[in-house]
Structure 1
């Protein structure tokens, strides 16, 4: 997840302020380091101790702009990491921050990935790899064997993360133009069986096509517009689910019986729009 809900009305922030924790709504982290991953993606390392499951997210507040949700990429001791692509006003604000700047956030929120001992594959498209470092770490802690499949548009958009390279049994990369790894898309290279669980994160249409292909259990992290993070506003609704609290991680088989998954999502006005 790396949404940029930069047009969230401040009135929503004011409403959730009163039902949450008053002046303690936002935590204050200190930006320790920013690492450039590619031209459009950076890894933000923020000093603040949090506890989170892989796949959970936080909401970052950009003063005078709004909020946006981001998956927690990794955490250790008193630092957590966020892999962020620049794609809107909130991410634009973050890309202007410098070390020692204050980052205001709330969370973690949502339902994360299950940790299963066995053989697992991580499947990500673009910056969908964001939650995989922490997920990889937790899977290895229980003795799982993990293969990684990542799909990108081209070499320039590829995301290389050291923890995935050091801990994966195998990494397969695809690019649409063949400039790196295998030429094609991610569905061309993923096996349809041979694993205990598949973890999927990326564009919703990609996830839909993967679930149609594979014959194993899967969990999918969805990206939807999230205004409140508390299940109140309904902007992230998906066939009765509220992605912000019931997800963002869902079982693949639950999504595949949904009439909206992979076909529609809700825009800023709350109306269904074709994906």
Structure 2
């Protein structure tokens, strides 16, 4: 699926930072079914397919990697949702219209003040958020200067009214991975790892959840205990989240994060800095 653009895509707010989230790898039980879902229902392009693996994305950039061979059972910790960020509100409206026409079932829709988001799950229960950001100068602020976020009703009728007519051509150029939201056993431990060791800034606290980012974004990584309080490490090969990428903006940012990863007990595997968080979610650093 491709979309013809008449101008260069707008740079995503999430990517205007020293680090942002790249491809998310999921370990799945039914690779053909999940591949078809992310292509047809979500609107990603199938970029590469080989025995046991499928890579889907936009404009040649991999956003979701599916790997066959998931083991059961799946522990409470792991993926809450991966979040695909669209360039504009019209793009979100176009996707919503596509979902309505294709019968894609939504599980929620929220206005978070900094963003507008649609929520759903793939056929194996992996959570997905599809959203668009407001511009940074529109983000509300708390009295202490921090970013204010909330969960308010999103008017779907008003949103879909902004959609273009015609058949959906897939997610547009400029779409990227915006953030990843994890189920963790303890939010303080998540902050110790992602803030204390990897250096992400704590941006917002919700009851039972922490939101962290790089470069002033509202969040690149979140962790909640809403259904996973006290959860221990994930087992090898479990269904669901296998790993996710942190993408460094430039060589100096890469070197700084590489040093943090190695100092925190990570290692280089085939030259790629890699570390696991306390719940055995694998993180790889790419430049």
Task: Tell me the TM-score range normalised by the shorter chain.
Answer: under 0.3
| TM, length-normalised to structure 2 | 0.26
